[in-house]
Chain A
Amino acid sequence: MTSDNKKAFIKGNHAVVEAALDAGCRFYAGYPITPQNEIPEFMSKRMPEVGGTFIQAESELISVNMVFGAVAAGARAMTTSSSPGISLMQEGISYMAGCELPGVLVNVMRGGPGLGNIQPSQSDYFQAVKPGHGDFRMITLAPSSIQEMYDLTFDAFDLADKYRNPVMILADGLLGQLMENVELKRDRKPLYLNTPKPWALTGAKGRDGQRILSLLMQPGVLEKHNFKLKEKYDLITKTEKRFELSGMENNPDYLIAAFGTVGRISKGTIRLLKQDGINTGLFRPITVWPYPYEALKEAAKNVKKIFVFEMNLGQMVEDVRLAVEDSSKIEFYGRPGGGVPTAEELYNFIKGKVG
């Protein structure tokens, strides 16, 4: 691999690996689970090439807690998994949030609940935007192309360090397996990579020992800590919202709200509707936490209906309801359990509602 920018025709799972390494990630621990197995597989080859640590963990609990340790020691570190594994990782995610540690996680979602299946799904929206135990938030980025798998994974490391907070890439089995042309930005400079981390545990050279902890037993101290975290979450909410909004220049009658893979499929639906002379806008949140409520509210103001499409039974639609003043305008269509809608299927749903 050269240090130049480079086009590559690769899978989403492979793009995650390249982005992580380009962003300075030098510690990876992961446990096999379909449909993300290419990540630990590629990583086991690529990480040693850049002098980093690859560990095949013996469970998701072990991988996430290894990431906890690695980031506590000051490294950029990542783990990846798929839905049932992410459930186990919620332990470590909560600890990282409480300890303000910048771990990066990738969830290549599959169908659930339980062992579910290995088809693409978006049924972990809730456990990404409403993660774990305790009052905390996790920055969650939802890619919809392989280029975004690369770009957002890179961003995840910068955001994690910027805010000392766990960041999750919320992908799915389709994005993990799909191959597309990707521009690998070998000359992109990671932000904060060389910013000192005085809080990290590196040995108490010339100072007293310091601690990384989330246990705050004295009355009032944990409450204060939570308020401090909230200030950070408020800042992230103010600063980091991202979304794609398209088709608004035609004053559309309808708006589709969808993230990730379904956001991408919806573009096909919008083309089909256009052939019928129906103008439809697309609102695709890229950060699903923080959710771009204001942008959606604005986009939804003058449309007759908002169609919310997801590969689940209705999870992001709750945020759409929070954003849109008149929720009677919202129509939801979802495919749970690994079902992937086609553009025609969504087109037919809209036609069925609008005539």
Chain B
Amino acid sequence: MRKGRIIIEVDRCKGCLLCIAACKPKQIKISKKMNKTGYNIVEFCDEGKCNACTLCGIICPDAAIEVIEIIETEKK
């Protein structure tokens, strides 16, 4: 399985929850944090289940999500 993580740009996020609906492994949740515009933002759960599918980024209207793929280069 691909592995990944996402970075949410706090001041672009409006907490519209579309990314949460799009995320199959349920790795995004609404947070209690508020950004400077007053939106309750979402946050990445970071439970190692993100598969870098980018669907959260694609559906995010506000271009607030950066998706990073983690590529294992050396197995121990």
Are chains A and B touching in the complex at the 8 Å CB cutoff?
no
